Amino acid sequence: MHLFQENAPSDHDAALAQLAIIDLGPYLKGEPGALEATAAEICRACETIGFFYISNHGVDEALIEATFEQSRRFHALPLGSKQALALDSDNLGYMAMNTSMQRHSTVHKATKPNQNESFFITHPRGPDHPDALSPRPFRGVNRWPDGLPGFREGVLDYFGALNALGQGLLPAFSVALGMEADFLAPSFANENNATLRMLHYPPTVIEDNDFGTAPHTDNSFMTILARMDVPGLAIRLPSGEWLSPPLVPGTFLVNIGNILRRMSNDRFMSTPHGVIVDGETDRYSLAYFHSPNPYETIKVAPSCITPDEPAAYEPRLYAELIHEFFSANYFHQKDHGSIKMENRYT
């Protein structure tokens, strides 16, 4: 029996009731009072569990399904074709099976590599982009496989839709933090840090402390997750029990990450989660990570600081936090730990 089964909630329906389904329709239409109402729902969800569903999010279901098909096409390529796009120092490209480990995690002691493979992309930057002409860490250029017509265009369509959704949610998150609606906008300007990770999990081979993805918290501001109907994800409830959130048609599953938790002075929960794929069917998921520009300083929101609760975190350049996370979790980054990143920011 693995970790998720040993600590499964005794009353599944009661546990599931803790996951809100937030209807974004009125908010995205700009209806009166919708910003405040949506922000209140987000705040409540972030303070109690850190995961919630969003419905009426405006992303076409046909686009989501088409992107899953593009992911299957990519992962069906010969291994050599994928390895030609091996992850670079900006964590863009192909990550092979068993080449990452959640060593940055404070919620679980990982001893085995993760049993998944992934393809990472970010904003479409051409060779004449300023960050390509004068390379800066975490502002890399996508690379694409040969022999997959339509793949690049289809995946970028999905990335663009999710980036627009993430940017559109910033006013609600700003108000949820107790700030004005435009509070977060400057931190996400000039191409926010955004990554789409197209994951493929074969059935997990469980021998000892094995996972498709070991329990961890995300290093993003928020994650917007699309899943297929093969289960595997489990999230740790505040009680310590593990819940497998079911697929709710027409929704994305959203969780907040360590950056928003930091901004909220630990008011908001960055909830541990992981993946084990039981059975014999491969699992695919589309994890989109939405975060501030890497060269913005991450500070605790003034509304979350009081005389009794001073800021728990010093201001940090987000690029530094990305570097720490990458160096700990990805094998190809393990030799980069001594880089003085501050010397590469000018």
What pLDDT, in 10s, does the model give residues 32-63?
999 999 999 999 999 999 999 999 999 999 99
What pLDDT, in 10s, does the model give residues 167-181?
999 999 999 999 999
How many CB atoms neighbour CB 32 within 10 A?
8
126 confidence band (pLDDT: 50, 70, 90): confident
Per-residue confidence (pLDDT) for residue 210, from 0 to 100: 77
Per-residue confidence (pLDDT) for residue 132, from 0 to 100: 77
What CATH architecture is 3-344? Sandwich (2.60)
What pLDDT, in 10s, does the model give residues 306-319?
999 999 999 999 99
Is 101 or 307 the better-scoring residue by pLDDT?
Answer: 307
- Spatial CA neighbour of 304 closest among 265, 277, 273: 265
Rounded Cα–Cα distance for residues 43 and 24 (Å): 14
Rounded Cα–Cα distance for residues 274 and 173 (Å): 25
270 confidence band (pLDDT: 50, 70, 90): very high
What pLDDT, in 10s, does the model give residues 280-307?
999 999 999 999 999 999 999 999 999 9
305 dihedral zone (left: phi>0; alpha: psi -120 to 50; beta): beta
What pLDDT, in 10s, does the model give residues 217-260?
999 999 999 998 888 999 999 888 899 999 999 999 999 999 99
Per-residue confidence (pLDDT) for residue 130, from 0 to 100: 86
Q: Residue for token digits 């109690």?
A: 48
**Whether pLDDT at 91 is above 60:** yes
Q: At what angle do helices 151-176 and 34-48 cross, to 10 degrees?
A: 90
Per-residue confidence (pLDDT) for residue 337, from 0 to 100: 42
Average pLDDT over all residues of the chain:
88
The dihedral formed by the CA atoms of 54, 56, 59 and 65, expressed in degrees to the nearest 10 = 80
How many CB atoms neighbour CB 17 within 10 A?
9
Task: Supply the DSSP string of 180-205, one letter for each residue.
Answer: -TTSSGGGGTTT-EEEEEEEEEPPP-
